[in-house]
Amino acid sequence: MTLGAQPAASVAELVAMRRPKPIWVRMGRFARHKPLGFAGVVVIFLMFFMAISAPVISRFDPNEVRSADRFSGPNGSYFFGTDKFGRDVYSRVVYGSRISLEVGFVAVGIALFGGTVVGIICGYFGGWVDMLTQRVMDTLMAIPVLVFAMVMVSALGPSIVNVMIALGIIGIPQASRVVRGAVLSVMENPYIESARSVGAGGLRIGLFHILPNVTAPIIIIGTAGLGSVILAEASLSFLGLGTPPPAPSWGGMLSGQAQSYGVQYPWLVLAPGIALTLAVLGFNLFGDALRDVWDPRLRGTQ
């Protein structure tokens, strides 16, 4: 009886070992092994919470003008003070997180979609298709990012939609390079030849055999690129080519009146500057940790 019960117990233990661990257990392990990455997760979570609950946690309308409260310092009513129009800086910083996240995710989505399509086509077909496409990507990557974005936004006109389109197009070459390298590695596996031998077409192979195996690098470059896109949007808004006023963009808050009155009223610069720095730092730390966890060459390193 005892010997007969042992296999059942072994099977139960094996099933328990293969069962996915709860999310809090995995997050605890991630926090122990990658403390900086976990700090980035906390910053990202706080940024999402701030964006989602902006109408609840903000004190005032971010665009409401109060002439009597111009340049009020931080106090019980205005946590981060007011600007030259009497607008609450704290409320503008809170609502500015919405613009940064919206621009970041849409632009990165455009870059990942375009880069994935181009990378899979180049890696799968190779030959002259790969060579010609990569030369175009090299040309685009040779142009400085901010200069390319300025030219595109100037041609399309300053608006949040045009900023997302411009930053998304800029990210396609880098994303395509990463995806192409992963596809070339996947193409060496025997199951690709097996799929071809049973008559699978290029579209089916790309969607069901190649794409699932290059998902990890796509997610990594997307996460790491969010910080760069948020910073690029702030730079364009700082130059007057990004989100048009009076929308509460962090980059727009750092330009104009912040340049003129920043020394005399430092809260005009500190509040959006710290928010922008923490957002970019959080996404960069999380992206680096995610790369270390999913890249087998870096697994086990600190």
49 pLDDT higher than 60 = yes
113 pLDDT higher than 90 = yes
Considering the chain, what percentage of its residues have pLDDT values greater than 70? Answer: 87
Report if residue 162 sits inside a domain.
Answer: yes
How distant, in Å, are the alpha carbons of 40, 101, 186, 242 from that of 44?
Answer: 6, 10, 32, 23
Report if residue 276 sits inside a domain.
Answer: yes
The whole-angstrom separation of Cα 278 and Cα 223 is: 15
Q: Pick the closest to residue 224 from 152, 292, 129 (CA basis).
A: 292
Q: Could you tell me which residue, 191 or 112, shows the higher pLDDT?
A: 112
Report if residue 300 sits inside a domain.
Answer: no
Alpha carbon 242 to its chain centroid, in Å, reads 18
Report if residue 26 sits inside a domain.
Answer: no
Threshold 0.75, pTM exceeds: yes
pLDDT classification of 6: cutoffs 50, 70, 90 = very low
Question: Exposed, middle or buried: residue 25 (CB in 10 Å: 0-12, 13-18, 19+)?
Answer: exposed
| SS3 state at 242 | coil
Residue 269, C-beta contacts closer than 8 angstroms, at least 6 positions apart: 254, 258, 262
Instruction: Give me the pLDDT at residue 94, please.
Output: 92
The whole-angstrom separation of Cα 87 and Cα 70 is: 8
Report if residue 178 sits inside a domain.
Answer: yes
298: left (phi over 0), alpha (psi -120 to 50) or beta: alpha
Q: Which of 116-120, 196-200, 213-217 has the lowest mean pLDDT?
A: 196-200
Average pLDDT over residues 4-14: 50
The CATH number for 289's domain is: 1.10.3720.10
Report if residue 23 sits inside a domain.
Answer: no
Per-residue buried b or exposed e for 217-248, using 16+ beta carbons within 10 Å of the residue's own CB: bbebbbbbbbbbbbbbbbbbbbbebbbeeebb
1 pLDDT higher than 90 = no
Q: Which of 22-26, 118-122, 177-181, 242-246 has the lowest mean pLDDT?
A: 22-26
Report if residue 302 sits inside a domain.
Answer: no
Domain count, the chain: 1
Average pLDDT over residues 292-300: 59
Domain residues for 48? 35-61+80-294
Rounded to 5°, the CA angle 249-275-225 comes to 80
Question: Exposed, middle or buried: residue 276 (CB in 10 Å: 0-12, 13-18, 19+)?
Answer: buried
Report if residue 1 sits inside a domain.
Answer: no
288 pLDDT higher than 70 = yes
The whole-angstrom separation of Cα 86 and Cα 244 is: 19
Average pLDDT over residues 39-53: 91
81 pLDDT higher than 60 = yes
Instruction: Give me the pLDDT at residue 9, please.
Output: 47
The whole-angstrom separation of Cα 217 and Cα 277 is: 25
The answer to whether the beta carbons of residues 136 and 118 sit under 8 Å apart is no
pLDDT in tens, 209-233: 888 888 888 888 888 888 888 888 8
